[in-house]
Structure 1
Protein backbone atom coordinates (compact mmCIF):
# COMPACT_ATOMS: atom_id res chain seq x y z
CA UNK A 1 0.00 0.00 0.00
CA UNK A 2 1.35 3.43 -0.90
CA UNK A 3 2.28 5.74 1.96
CA UNK A 4 1.64 9.36 1.00
CA UNK A 5 2.02 10.71 4.56
CA UNK A 6 5.53 9.70 5.59
CA UNK A 7 6.75 11.73 8.56
CA UNK A 8 3.62 13.88 8.39
CA UNK A 9 5.56 17.09 9.02
CA UNK A 10 7.10 15.81 12.26
CA UNK A 11 10.68 14.72 11.63
CA UNK A 12 13.00 12.96 14.07
CA UNK A 13 15.27 15.33 15.97
CA UNK A 14 18.90 14.30 15.54
CA UNK A 15 22.25 15.39 14.15
CA UNK A 16 24.56 13.53 11.79
CA UNK A 17 27.92 12.35 13.24
CA UNK A 18 29.79 15.64 12.69
CA UNK A 19 26.99 17.70 14.30
CA UNK A 20 25.40 18.87 11.04
CA UNK A 21 21.73 18.33 10.28
CA UNK A 22 22.21 17.97 6.51
CA UNK A 23 23.85 14.85 5.09
CA UNK A 24 24.93 14.70 1.46
CA UNK A 25 25.44 11.53 -0.57
CA UNK A 26 27.44 11.57 -3.79
CA UNK A 27 26.62 8.51 -5.89
CA UNK A 28 28.36 7.43 -9.09
CA UNK A 29 26.83 4.85 -11.40
CA UNK A 30 29.20 2.09 -12.57
CA UNK A 31 27.04 0.42 -15.22
CA UNK A 32 28.87 0.68 -18.54
CA UNK A 33 29.13 -2.80 -20.02
CA UNK A 34 25.96 -3.88 -18.24
CA UNK A 35 23.57 -1.96 -20.47
CA UNK A 36 21.71 -4.10 -22.99
CA UNK A 37 23.59 -4.48 -26.27
CA UNK A 38 22.88 -6.82 -29.18
CA UNK A 39 26.63 -7.23 -29.51
CA UNK A 40 26.67 -8.74 -26.02
CA UNK A 41 23.91 -11.21 -26.83
CA UNK A 42 21.02 -9.14 -25.52
CA UNK A 43 17.78 -8.92 -27.51
CA UNK A 44 18.10 -5.17 -28.07
CA UNK A 45 20.55 -2.34 -27.58
CA UNK A 46 20.08 0.50 -25.10
CA UNK A 47 18.59 3.39 -27.11
CA UNK A 48 19.47 6.30 -24.77
CA UNK A 49 22.87 7.94 -25.17
CA UNK A 50 24.22 11.23 -26.44
CA UNK A 51 21.44 10.87 -29.05
CA UNK A 52 18.58 8.42 -29.22
CA UNK A 53 19.87 5.53 -31.27
CA UNK A 54 18.91 5.41 -34.95
CA UNK A 55 20.06 1.78 -35.34
CA UNK A 56 17.25 -0.65 -36.07
CA UNK A 57 16.11 -2.75 -33.09
CA UNK A 58 17.84 -6.12 -33.03
CA UNK A 59 20.90 -4.79 -34.91
CA UNK A 60 24.25 -4.37 -33.20
CA UNK A 61 24.81 -0.70 -32.30
CA UNK A 62 28.56 -0.19 -32.09
CA UNK A 63 28.15 3.55 -31.67
CA UNK A 64 26.19 3.07 -28.45
CA UNK A 65 28.72 0.49 -27.26
CA UNK A 66 31.46 3.10 -27.66
CA UNK A 67 29.48 5.86 -25.95
CA UNK A 68 29.13 3.63 -22.91
CA UNK A 69 32.74 2.43 -23.10
CA UNK A 70 33.98 6.03 -22.80
CA UNK A 71 32.74 6.08 -19.23
CA UNK A 72 35.00 3.22 -18.20
CA UNK A 73 38.01 4.04 -20.38
CA UNK A 74 38.22 7.78 -19.67
CA UNK A 75 35.44 9.16 -17.48
CA UNK A 76 36.10 6.96 -14.46
CA UNK A 77 39.64 8.21 -13.93
CA UNK A 78 38.67 11.87 -14.30
CA UNK A 79 35.93 11.42 -11.71
CA UNK A 80 38.05 9.39 -9.27
CA UNK A 81 40.74 12.06 -9.40
CA UNK A 82 38.11 14.74 -8.74
CA UNK A 83 36.80 12.90 -5.68
CA UNK A 84 40.36 12.50 -4.38
CA UNK A 85 41.18 16.16 -5.01
CA UNK A 86 38.23 17.35 -2.94
CA UNK A 87 38.57 14.69 -0.24
CA UNK A 88 35.10 13.23 -0.79
CA UNK A 89 34.12 9.56 -0.59
CA UNK A 90 31.21 8.37 -2.71
CA UNK A 91 29.03 5.35 -3.23
CA UNK A 92 29.50 3.61 -6.57
CA UNK A 93 26.35 1.82 -7.74
CA UNK A 94 27.81 -1.21 -9.52
CA UNK A 95 26.13 -3.46 -12.05
CA UNK A 96 27.36 -7.04 -11.84
CA UNK A 97 28.15 -7.52 -15.52
CA UNK A 98 30.11 -4.26 -15.55
CA UNK A 99 32.21 -5.46 -12.61
CA UNK A 100 32.66 -8.89 -14.18
CA UNK A 101 34.03 -7.31 -17.36
CA UNK A 102 36.22 -4.71 -15.64
CA UNK A 103 37.16 -6.05 -12.19
CA UNK A 104 40.39 -4.04 -12.03
CA UNK A 105 38.37 -0.82 -12.35
CA UNK A 106 36.00 -1.85 -9.56
CA UNK A 107 39.00 -2.74 -7.41
CA UNK A 108 40.54 0.69 -8.03
CA UNK A 109 37.34 2.32 -6.77
CA UNK A 110 37.35 0.28 -3.58
CA UNK A 111 41.05 0.94 -3.01
CA UNK A 112 40.33 4.68 -2.93
CA UNK A 113 37.83 4.17 -0.12
CA UNK A 114 34.53 4.37 -1.96
CA UNK A 115 31.53 2.14 -1.26
CA UNK A 116 30.54 -0.56 -3.74
CA UNK A 117 26.76 -1.06 -3.79
CA UNK A 118 24.59 -3.34 -5.95
CA UNK A 119 23.00 -1.75 -9.04
CA UNK A 120 21.59 -4.98 -10.45
CA UNK A 121 23.26 -7.59 -12.64
CA UNK A 122 22.25 -5.66 -15.75
CA UNK A 123 21.28 -2.01 -16.04
CA UNK A 124 17.57 -2.82 -16.10
CA UNK A 125 14.51 -2.39 -13.90
CA UNK A 126 14.08 -5.18 -11.38
CA UNK A 127 10.36 -4.89 -12.00
CA UNK A 128 11.09 -6.81 -15.22
CA UNK A 129 11.82 -10.06 -13.38
CA UNK A 130 9.21 -12.76 -13.85
CA UNK A 131 10.01 -14.55 -10.59
CA UNK A 132 11.67 -14.02 -7.23
CA UNK A 133 13.98 -16.94 -7.98
CA UNK A 134 15.38 -15.33 -11.14
CA UNK A 135 15.86 -12.01 -9.39
CA UNK A 136 17.52 -13.69 -6.43
CA UNK A 137 19.99 -15.51 -8.69
CA UNK A 138 21.05 -12.25 -10.31
CA UNK A 139 21.39 -10.54 -6.92
CA UNK A 140 23.65 -13.35 -5.76
CA UNK A 141 25.75 -13.14 -8.93
CA UNK A 142 26.14 -9.39 -8.53
CA UNK A 143 27.10 -9.66 -4.86
CA UNK A 144 29.67 -12.35 -5.69
CA UNK A 145 31.49 -10.43 -8.43
CA UNK A 146 31.59 -7.26 -6.32
CA UNK A 147 32.94 -9.22 -3.38
CA UNK A 148 35.62 -10.83 -5.56
CA UNK A 149 36.68 -7.55 -7.19
CA UNK A 150 36.40 -5.14 -4.27
CA UNK A 151 37.03 -7.38 -1.28
CA UNK A 152 33.85 -6.24 0.48
CA UNK A 153 30.31 -7.57 0.66
CA UNK A 154 27.88 -4.96 -0.71
CA UNK A 155 25.33 -3.70 1.80
CA UNK A 156 23.33 -1.29 -0.35
CA UNK A 157 21.05 -1.63 -3.37
CA UNK A 158 19.62 0.57 -6.10
CA UNK A 159 18.36 -0.61 -9.49
CA UNK A 160 17.33 1.25 -12.60
CA UNK A 161 13.69 2.24 -12.60
CA UNK A 162 11.78 0.20 -10.07
CA UNK A 163 12.15 -2.70 -7.69
CA UNK A 164 9.97 -5.77 -8.18
CA UNK A 165 7.35 -6.78 -5.64
CA UNK A 166 9.93 -9.27 -4.30
CA UNK A 167 13.06 -7.12 -4.20
CA UNK A 168 12.95 -5.89 -0.61
CA UNK A 169 12.27 -9.35 0.80
CA UNK A 170 15.20 -10.71 -1.21
CA UNK A 171 17.47 -7.93 0.07
CA UNK A 172 16.41 -8.48 3.67
CA UNK A 173 17.06 -12.22 3.36
CA UNK A 174 20.60 -11.45 2.17
CA UNK A 175 21.35 -9.07 5.03
CA UNK A 176 21.40 -5.80 3.08
CA UNK A 177 21.60 -2.64 5.16
CA UNK A 178 19.61 -0.40 2.83
CA UNK A 179 17.71 -0.05 -0.41
CA UNK A 180 17.65 3.23 -2.35
CA UNK A 181 14.75 2.63 -4.73
CA UNK A 182 12.71 5.43 -3.23
CA UNK A 183 12.23 8.96 -4.51
CA UNK A 184 9.68 10.09 -1.94
CA UNK A 185 11.45 11.76 0.99
CA UNK A 186 14.34 13.92 2.19
CA UNK A 187 15.19 11.50 5.01
CA UNK A 188 15.68 7.75 5.31
CA UNK A 189 12.81 5.75 6.76
CA UNK A 190 11.88 2.20 7.68
CA UNK A 191 9.64 -0.09 5.66
CA UNK A 192 7.31 -1.74 8.19
CA UNK A 193 7.14 -4.87 6.05
CA UNK A 194 10.94 -5.25 6.11
CA UNK A 195 12.10 -3.66 9.39
CA UNK A 196 15.71 -4.83 9.04
CA UNK A 197 16.11 -2.92 5.76
CA UNK A 198 16.46 0.87 5.81
CA UNK A 199 14.98 2.84 2.91
CA UNK A 200 17.59 5.44 1.95
CA UNK A 201 15.94 7.64 -0.70
CA UNK A 202 17.67 8.58 -3.93
CA UNK A 203 16.96 11.51 -6.29
CA UNK A 204 16.65 11.93 -10.04
CA UNK A 205 16.45 15.72 -10.12
CA UNK A 206 19.92 16.49 -8.73
CA UNK A 207 21.29 13.92 -11.15
CA UNK A 208 23.39 14.27 -14.28
CA UNK A 209 21.04 11.96 -16.19
CA UNK A 210 19.11 15.16 -16.86
CA UNK A 211 21.80 16.08 -19.40
CA UNK A 212 20.26 13.30 -21.52
CA UNK A 213 16.69 14.62 -21.20
CA UNK A 214 15.21 17.51 -23.21
CA UNK A 215 13.81 19.20 -20.09
CA UNK A 216 17.12 18.91 -18.24
CA UNK A 217 20.60 20.42 -18.10
CA UNK A 218 22.55 21.61 -21.14
CA UNK A 219 25.60 23.42 -19.72
CA UNK A 220 27.56 22.03 -16.77
CA UNK A 221 26.88 25.16 -14.72
CA UNK A 222 23.15 24.47 -14.87
CA UNK A 223 23.58 21.36 -12.75
CA UNK A 224 25.98 23.19 -10.42
CA UNK A 225 23.40 25.95 -9.91
CA UNK A 226 20.59 23.43 -9.40
CA UNK A 227 22.52 21.57 -6.71
CA UNK A 228 23.48 24.87 -5.06
CA UNK A 229 19.79 25.82 -4.91
CA UNK A 230 18.95 22.44 -3.36
CA UNK A 231 21.71 22.91 -0.78
CA UNK A 232 20.46 26.41 0.05
CA UNK A 233 16.92 25.14 0.65
CA UNK A 234 17.94 22.12 2.71
CA UNK A 235 20.53 24.04 4.73
CA UNK A 236 17.87 26.56 5.75
CA UNK A 237 15.60 23.73 6.86
CA UNK A 238 18.47 21.96 8.62
CA UNK A 239 19.48 25.11 10.46
CA UNK A 240 15.85 25.44 11.58
CA UNK A 241 16.26 22.06 13.30
CA UNK A 242 15.03 19.64 10.63
CA UNK A 243 17.45 16.85 9.63
CA UNK A 244 17.78 16.36 5.89
CA UNK A 245 19.51 14.28 3.19
CA UNK A 246 20.55 15.45 -0.28
CA UNK A 247 21.42 12.92 -2.99
CA UNK A 248 23.59 13.88 -5.97
CA UNK A 249 24.02 11.35 -8.79
CA UNK A 250 26.60 11.05 -11.57
CA UNK A 251 27.36 8.67 -14.45
CA UNK A 252 30.79 7.86 -15.84
CA UNK A 253 29.75 8.36 -19.48
CA UNK A 254 27.86 11.58 -18.74
CA UNK A 255 29.80 13.76 -16.30
CA UNK A 256 33.00 11.95 -17.21
CA UNK A 257 32.99 13.92 -20.48
CA UNK A 258 35.23 17.02 -20.44
CA UNK A 259 32.42 19.48 -21.15
CA UNK A 260 30.24 18.10 -18.36
CA UNK A 261 32.90 17.21 -15.79
CA UNK A 262 32.64 20.69 -14.20
CA UNK A 263 29.11 19.65 -13.21
CA UNK A 264 30.82 17.29 -10.81
CA UNK A 265 34.05 19.11 -10.02
CA UNK A 266 32.39 22.41 -9.10
CA UNK A 267 29.75 20.67 -7.00
CA UNK A 268 32.44 18.75 -5.11
CA UNK A 269 34.32 22.00 -4.49
CA UNK A 270 31.12 23.60 -3.18
CA UNK A 271 30.48 20.66 -0.86
CA UNK A 272 34.03 20.77 0.47
CA UNK A 273 33.72 24.51 1.03
CA UNK A 274 30.67 24.10 3.27
CA UNK A 275 32.78 22.35 5.89
CA UNK A 276 30.90 21.07 8.94
CA UNK A 277 27.63 22.72 7.91
CA UNK A 278 27.03 19.45 6.04
CA UNK A 279 28.12 15.84 6.42
CA UNK A 280 29.26 14.25 3.15
CA UNK A 281 29.43 10.48 3.48
CA UNK A 282 29.03 7.13 1.76
CA UNK A 283 25.52 5.78 1.72
CA UNK A 284 26.32 2.90 4.05
CA UNK A 285 27.68 5.37 6.62
CA UNK A 286 24.55 7.52 6.27
CA UNK A 287 22.33 4.48 6.81
CA UNK A 288 24.28 3.39 9.88
CA UNK A 289 24.21 6.91 11.35
CA UNK A 290 20.47 7.25 10.82
CA UNK A 291 19.78 3.90 12.48
CA UNK A 292 22.01 4.76 15.44
CA UNK A 293 20.37 8.18 15.89
CA UNK A 294 16.75 7.01 15.65
CA UNK A 295 16.69 3.59 17.28
Structure 2
Protein backbone atom coordinates (compact mmCIF):
# COMPACT_ATOMS: atom_id res chain seq x y z
CA UNK A 1 0.00 0.00 0.00
CA UNK A 2 1.49 3.34 -1.05
CA UNK A 3 1.34 6.35 1.26
CA UNK A 4 -0.39 9.51 0.12
CA UNK A 5 1.58 12.51 1.34
CA UNK A 6 -0.14 14.90 -1.08
CA UNK A 7 -3.81 14.82 -0.09
CA UNK A 8 -5.64 17.89 -1.33
CA UNK A 9 -2.34 19.65 -2.02
CA UNK A 10 -3.50 22.83 -0.30
CA UNK A 11 -6.55 23.17 -2.56
CA UNK A 12 -9.58 21.96 -0.66
CA UNK A 13 -12.98 21.24 -2.19
CA UNK A 14 -15.50 24.04 -1.90
CA UNK A 15 -17.99 22.39 0.43
CA UNK A 16 -20.28 23.56 3.19
CA UNK A 17 -21.58 21.48 6.03
CA UNK A 18 -25.29 21.48 6.92
CA UNK A 19 -26.42 24.95 7.89
CA UNK A 20 -23.91 26.50 5.51
CA UNK A 21 -21.00 26.13 7.94
CA UNK A 22 -17.38 25.67 6.96
CA UNK A 23 -16.34 23.91 10.16
CA UNK A 24 -17.80 20.63 11.40
CA UNK A 25 -17.24 18.90 14.74
CA UNK A 26 -17.53 15.20 15.49
CA UNK A 27 -17.80 14.12 19.13
CA UNK A 28 -16.95 10.44 19.62
CA UNK A 29 -17.67 8.35 22.70
CA UNK A 30 -15.82 5.05 22.72
CA UNK A 31 -17.72 2.02 24.07
CA UNK A 32 -14.93 -0.51 24.57
CA UNK A 33 -15.20 -1.76 28.11
CA UNK A 34 -15.72 -5.51 28.21
CA UNK A 35 -14.06 -5.86 24.82
CA UNK A 36 -10.52 -5.20 25.99
CA UNK A 37 -8.21 -8.21 26.15
CA UNK A 38 -8.54 -9.96 29.52
CA UNK A 39 -7.25 -13.37 30.56
CA UNK A 40 -10.33 -13.66 32.76
CA UNK A 41 -12.45 -13.48 29.61
CA UNK A 42 -10.49 -16.23 27.90
CA UNK A 43 -8.07 -13.97 26.04
CA UNK A 44 -4.36 -14.88 25.92
CA UNK A 45 -3.27 -11.70 27.70
CA UNK A 46 -4.75 -8.79 29.64
CA UNK A 47 -4.75 -5.15 28.52
CA UNK A 48 -1.87 -3.47 30.40
CA UNK A 49 -2.90 0.18 29.96
CA UNK A 50 -5.28 1.67 32.49
CA UNK A 51 -5.00 4.22 35.28
CA UNK A 52 -1.52 2.73 35.77
CA UNK A 53 0.41 0.13 33.80
CA UNK A 54 -0.53 -3.30 35.08
CA UNK A 55 2.09 -5.19 37.10
CA UNK A 56 0.26 -8.53 36.88
CA UNK A 57 2.42 -11.09 35.06
CA UNK A 58 1.46 -11.77 31.45
CA UNK A 59 -0.94 -14.65 31.05
CA UNK A 60 -2.54 -14.25 34.48
CA UNK A 61 -5.94 -12.82 35.27
CA UNK A 62 -5.91 -9.13 36.24
CA UNK A 63 -9.03 -8.32 38.32
CA UNK A 64 -7.80 -4.78 38.93
CA UNK A 65 -7.72 -3.96 35.24
CA UNK A 66 -11.09 -5.66 34.76
CA UNK A 67 -12.58 -3.33 37.37
CA UNK A 68 -10.91 -0.21 35.97
CA UNK A 69 -12.56 -0.94 32.64
CA UNK A 70 -15.87 -1.94 34.25
CA UNK A 71 -16.15 1.52 35.80
CA UNK A 72 -16.99 2.83 32.33
CA UNK A 73 -20.36 1.14 31.71
CA UNK A 74 -21.22 0.89 35.43
CA UNK A 75 -20.72 4.55 36.35
CA UNK A 76 -19.02 6.81 33.81
CA UNK A 77 -21.48 6.14 31.02
CA UNK A 78 -24.45 7.54 32.86
CA UNK A 79 -23.01 10.93 33.75
CA UNK A 80 -21.61 11.28 30.23
CA UNK A 81 -24.94 10.36 28.63
CA UNK A 82 -26.68 12.94 30.81
CA UNK A 83 -24.17 15.63 29.82
CA UNK A 84 -24.79 14.92 26.14
CA UNK A 85 -28.52 15.35 26.78
CA UNK A 86 -28.00 18.51 28.83
CA UNK A 87 -25.99 20.17 26.07
CA UNK A 88 -27.97 18.64 23.19
CA UNK A 89 -24.79 17.41 21.49
CA UNK A 90 -25.09 14.50 19.04
CA UNK A 91 -22.27 11.96 19.19
CA UNK A 92 -21.01 8.92 17.36
CA UNK A 93 -20.43 5.89 19.55
CA UNK A 94 -17.52 3.67 18.53
CA UNK A 95 -18.87 0.39 19.94
CA UNK A 96 -16.93 -2.84 20.16
CA UNK A 97 -19.05 -5.91 19.50
CA UNK A 98 -18.19 -7.77 22.70
CA UNK A 99 -18.90 -4.62 24.72
CA UNK A 100 -22.28 -4.27 23.00
CA UNK A 101 -23.06 -7.90 23.73
CA UNK A 102 -21.99 -7.78 27.39
CA UNK A 103 -23.34 -4.32 28.31
CA UNK A 104 -26.24 -3.76 25.88
CA UNK A 105 -28.29 -1.63 28.29
CA UNK A 106 -25.94 1.36 28.14
CA UNK A 107 -25.51 1.21 24.39
CA UNK A 108 -29.27 0.96 23.95
CA UNK A 109 -29.71 4.13 26.02
CA UNK A 110 -27.23 6.01 23.87
CA UNK A 111 -29.08 4.86 20.75
CA UNK A 112 -32.41 5.97 22.25
CA UNK A 113 -30.83 9.36 22.90
CA UNK A 114 -30.29 9.66 19.15
CA UNK A 115 -26.57 8.98 18.85
CA UNK A 116 -25.04 7.10 15.94
CA UNK A 117 -23.61 3.67 16.75
CA UNK A 118 -20.56 2.76 14.66
CA UNK A 119 -18.47 -0.41 14.62
CA UNK A 120 -15.27 -0.44 16.67
CA UNK A 121 -14.45 -4.08 15.91
CA UNK A 122 -15.38 -7.15 17.94
CA UNK A 123 -12.49 -6.63 20.37
CA UNK A 124 -10.53 -3.51 21.27
CA UNK A 125 -7.57 -4.62 19.18
CA UNK A 126 -5.88 -3.62 15.92
CA UNK A 127 -7.45 -5.19 12.86
CA UNK A 128 -3.91 -5.34 11.50
CA UNK A 129 -3.62 -8.41 13.77
CA UNK A 130 -5.99 -10.46 11.64
CA UNK A 131 -4.28 -13.18 9.61
CA UNK A 132 -7.00 -13.59 6.98
CA UNK A 133 -9.90 -11.71 5.41
CA UNK A 134 -12.26 -14.50 6.48
CA UNK A 135 -11.39 -14.12 10.17
CA UNK A 136 -11.76 -10.36 10.02
CA UNK A 137 -15.07 -10.52 8.17
CA UNK A 138 -16.42 -12.94 10.76
CA UNK A 139 -15.54 -10.39 13.45
CA UNK A 140 -17.14 -7.56 11.49
CA UNK A 141 -20.37 -9.51 11.03
CA UNK A 142 -20.43 -10.55 14.67
CA UNK A 143 -20.01 -6.93 15.73
CA UNK A 144 -22.79 -5.75 13.42
CA UNK A 145 -25.13 -8.37 14.86
CA UNK A 146 -24.29 -7.43 18.46
CA UNK A 147 -24.85 -3.73 17.81
CA UNK A 148 -28.13 -4.45 16.04
CA UNK A 149 -29.31 -6.70 18.86
CA UNK A 150 -28.57 -3.99 21.44
CA UNK A 151 -29.78 -0.92 19.56
CA UNK A 152 -31.70 -1.83 16.43
CA UNK A 153 -29.07 0.02 14.39
CA UNK A 154 -26.76 -1.45 11.76
CA UNK A 155 -23.43 0.41 11.76
CA UNK A 156 -22.48 2.33 8.62
CA UNK A 157 -19.10 3.48 9.95
CA UNK A 158 -16.01 1.70 11.21
CA UNK A 159 -12.94 2.46 13.29
CA UNK A 160 -10.59 -0.01 14.98
CA UNK A 161 -7.88 0.44 17.53
CA UNK A 162 -4.48 1.06 15.99
CA UNK A 163 -4.55 0.14 12.33
CA UNK A 164 -6.61 -1.71 9.75
CA UNK A 165 -5.48 -4.84 7.95
CA UNK A 166 -4.53 -4.72 4.24
CA UNK A 167 -8.03 -5.95 3.38
CA UNK A 168 -10.20 -4.06 5.89
CA UNK A 169 -11.33 -1.48 3.34
CA UNK A 170 -12.19 -4.24 0.85
CA UNK A 171 -14.43 -5.83 3.46
CA UNK A 172 -16.05 -2.55 4.48
CA UNK A 173 -16.83 -1.65 0.88
CA UNK A 174 -18.25 -5.10 0.20
CA UNK A 175 -20.39 -4.98 3.32
CA UNK A 176 -21.88 -1.63 2.33
CA UNK A 177 -20.24 0.70 4.85
CA UNK A 178 -20.54 4.43 4.24
CA UNK A 179 -17.30 5.47 5.89
CA UNK A 180 -14.08 4.35 7.54
CA UNK A 181 -12.29 6.38 10.19
CA UNK A 182 -8.82 4.82 10.43
CA UNK A 183 -7.24 7.92 8.98
CA UNK A 184 -5.23 10.44 10.99
CA UNK A 185 -3.90 12.40 8.05
CA UNK A 186 -6.27 15.28 7.28
CA UNK A 187 -8.67 17.88 8.62
CA UNK A 188 -11.27 16.98 6.01
CA UNK A 189 -12.90 13.75 4.79
CA UNK A 190 -11.69 12.28 1.52
CA UNK A 191 -12.41 9.39 -0.81
CA UNK A 192 -10.51 6.13 -0.42
CA UNK A 193 -8.45 5.81 -3.61
CA UNK A 194 -9.05 2.08 -3.91
CA UNK A 195 -12.73 2.25 -2.96
CA UNK A 196 -14.17 5.56 -4.22
CA UNK A 197 -17.59 4.80 -2.76
CA UNK A 198 -16.10 4.68 0.75
CA UNK A 199 -15.60 8.01 2.51
CA UNK A 200 -12.70 8.32 4.94
CA UNK A 201 -13.81 10.48 7.86
CA UNK A 202 -10.45 10.95 9.58
CA UNK A 203 -10.14 10.68 13.33
CA UNK A 204 -7.67 12.37 15.71
CA UNK A 205 -5.67 11.24 18.72
CA UNK A 206 -4.43 14.65 19.87
CA UNK A 207 -7.87 16.01 20.86
CA UNK A 208 -8.63 12.75 22.63
CA UNK A 209 -8.94 11.96 26.31
CA UNK A 210 -6.56 8.99 25.94
CA UNK A 211 -3.92 11.67 26.48
CA UNK A 212 -4.86 11.62 30.17
CA UNK A 213 -3.31 8.12 30.17
CA UNK A 214 -0.08 9.13 28.39
CA UNK A 215 3.01 11.00 29.60
CA UNK A 216 3.19 14.61 28.45
CA UNK A 217 -0.55 14.53 27.86
CA UNK A 218 -3.46 16.11 29.69
CA UNK A 219 -3.26 16.31 33.49
CA UNK A 220 -6.04 18.65 34.61
CA UNK A 221 -9.48 18.70 33.01
CA UNK A 222 -8.80 22.28 31.92
CA UNK A 223 -5.85 21.08 29.83
CA UNK A 224 -8.16 19.27 27.43
CA UNK A 225 -10.72 22.08 27.37
CA UNK A 226 -8.01 24.60 26.50
CA UNK A 227 -6.52 22.32 23.84
CA UNK A 228 -9.87 21.72 22.13
CA UNK A 229 -10.72 25.42 22.33
CA UNK A 230 -7.43 26.28 20.63
CA UNK A 231 -8.14 23.73 17.90
CA UNK A 232 -11.59 25.20 17.39
CA UNK A 233 -10.17 28.72 17.11
CA UNK A 234 -7.72 27.63 14.40
CA UNK A 235 -10.15 25.55 12.35
CA UNK A 236 -12.99 28.07 12.58
CA UNK A 237 -10.65 30.84 11.42
CA UNK A 238 -9.61 28.70 8.46
CA UNK A 239 -13.27 28.02 7.78
CA UNK A 240 -14.02 31.73 7.71
CA UNK A 241 -11.23 32.04 5.15
CA UNK A 242 -13.12 29.61 2.93
CA UNK A 243 -11.32 26.39 3.83
CA UNK A 244 -13.72 23.64 5.05
CA UNK A 245 -12.56 21.80 8.13
CA UNK A 246 -13.45 18.97 10.55
CA UNK A 247 -12.50 18.68 14.21
CA UNK A 248 -12.64 15.28 15.92
CA UNK A 249 -12.91 15.02 19.70
CA UNK A 250 -12.70 11.57 21.33
CA UNK A 251 -13.74 10.41 24.80
CA UNK A 252 -13.88 7.14 26.75
CA UNK A 253 -16.31 6.01 29.43
CA UNK A 254 -13.56 4.86 31.80
CA UNK A 255 -11.45 8.00 31.33
CA UNK A 256 -13.60 11.14 31.27
CA UNK A 257 -16.39 9.29 33.03
CA UNK A 258 -14.31 9.58 36.21
CA UNK A 259 -15.30 12.53 38.43
CA UNK A 260 -11.90 14.24 38.29
CA UNK A 261 -11.84 14.19 34.49
CA UNK A 262 -15.55 14.58 33.81
CA UNK A 263 -15.25 18.40 33.79
CA UNK A 264 -13.13 17.98 30.63
CA UNK A 265 -16.07 16.27 28.95
CA UNK A 266 -18.75 18.64 30.21
CA UNK A 267 -16.51 21.64 29.60
CA UNK A 268 -15.83 20.67 25.98
CA UNK A 269 -19.54 20.09 25.40
CA UNK A 270 -20.32 23.50 26.91
CA UNK A 271 -17.73 25.16 24.65
CA UNK A 272 -19.29 23.49 21.62
CA UNK A 273 -22.78 24.49 22.69
CA UNK A 274 -21.66 28.13 23.03
CA UNK A 275 -20.46 28.07 19.40
CA UNK A 276 -23.38 26.06 18.10
CA UNK A 277 -24.53 28.79 15.70
CA UNK A 278 -21.08 28.92 14.10
CA UNK A 279 -20.50 25.17 13.65
CA UNK A 280 -22.06 22.02 12.34
CA UNK A 281 -21.99 19.53 15.20
CA UNK A 282 -23.06 16.19 13.79
CA UNK A 283 -22.58 12.46 13.75
CA UNK A 284 -19.92 10.96 11.55
CA UNK A 285 -22.58 9.45 9.33
CA UNK A 286 -24.08 12.92 8.79
CA UNK A 287 -20.64 14.32 8.01
CA UNK A 288 -19.90 11.47 5.57
CA UNK A 289 -23.27 11.90 3.82
CA UNK A 290 -22.75 15.66 3.50
CA UNK A 291 -19.26 15.21 2.08
CA UNK A 292 -20.35 12.45 -0.33
CA UNK A 293 -23.19 14.60 -1.68
CA UNK A 294 -20.76 17.43 -2.53
CA UNK A 295 -17.60 15.55 -3.53
CA UNK A 296 -18.50 12.89 -6.04
CA UNK A 297 -16.58 9.67 -6.43
TM-score by length of 2: 0.99
Query: Cα offset for 1:276?
Result: 2.0
Q: Distance in 1 between matches of 2:91 and 2:276?
A: 17
Q: Distance in 2 between matches of 1:73 and 1:109?
A: 14
The answer for the alignment partner of 2:17 in structure 1 is 16
The answer as to 2:124 corresponding to 1:123 is yes
Query: Cα offset for 1:103?
Result: 1.4
Structure 1 alignment gaps of length 5 or more: none
Give the number of aligned pairs.
Answer: 295
For each residue in 1:79-121, what CA deviation from the matched residue of structure 2 results, as whole angstroms up to 9, or x when unmatched?
0000000000100000000001011221111000000000000
The answer for the alignment partner of 1:185 in structure 2 is 186
The answer for the alignment partner of 2:99 in structure 1 is 98
The answer for the alignment partner of 1:81 in structure 2 is 82
The answer for the alignment partner of 1:108 in structure 2 is 109
Q: Distance in 1 between matches of 2:38 and 2:203?
A: 27
The answer for the alignment partner of 1:207 in structure 2 is 208
Q: Counterparts of 1:24-35 in structure 2 under 5 Å?
A: 24-35=25-36
SS at match of 2:118: strand
Q: Distance in 1 between matches of 2:41 and 2:60?
A: 11
Q: Distance in 2 between matches of 1:275 and 1:224?
A: 16
The answer for the alignment partner of 2:8 in structure 1 is 7
Q: Distance in 2 between matches of 1:192 and 1:42?
A: 36
Contact 1:38 1:44 survives alignment (8 Å): yes
The answer for the alignment partner of 1:254 in structure 2 is 255
Query: Cα offset for 1:275?
Result: 2.2
SS at match of 1:18: helix
SS at match of 1:11: coil
Structure 2 alignment gaps of length 5 or more: none
For each residue in 1:24-72, what CA deviation from the matched residue of structure 2 results, as whole angstroms up to 9, or x when unmatched?
0000000000000010010110000000001111111000000000000
The answer for the alignment partner of 2:199 in structure 1 is 198
Q: Distance in 2 between matches of 1:294 and 1:196?
A: 11
The answer as to 2:167 corresponding to 1:159 is no
SS at match of 2:18: coil
Q: Distance in 2 between matches of 1:83 and 1:183?
A: 25
Contact 1:31 1:94 survives alignment (8 Å): yes
The answer as to 2:290 corresponding to 1:286 is no
The answer as to 2:38 corresponding to 1:37 is yes
Q: Distance in 1 between matches of 2:183 and 2:241?
A: 25
TM-score by length of 1: 0.99
SS at match of 2:234: helix
For each residue in 1:226-281, what CA deviation from the matched residue of structure 2 results, as whole angstroms up to 9, or x when unmatched?
00000010011000000000000000000000000011101100101012211100
SS at match of 1:29: strand
Q: Counterparts of 1:227-266 in structure 2 under 5 Å?
A: 227-266=228-267
The answer for the alignment partner of 2:177 in structure 1 is 176
Q: Distance in 2 between matches of 1:259 and 1:103?
A: 26
Q: Distance in 2 between matches of 1:210 and 1:97?
A: 24
Q: Distance in 2 between matches of 1:15 and 1:132?
A: 37
Moved more, 145-154 or 242-251: 145-154
Give structure 1 regions of 4+ aligned residues with deviation exceeding 3 angstroms: none
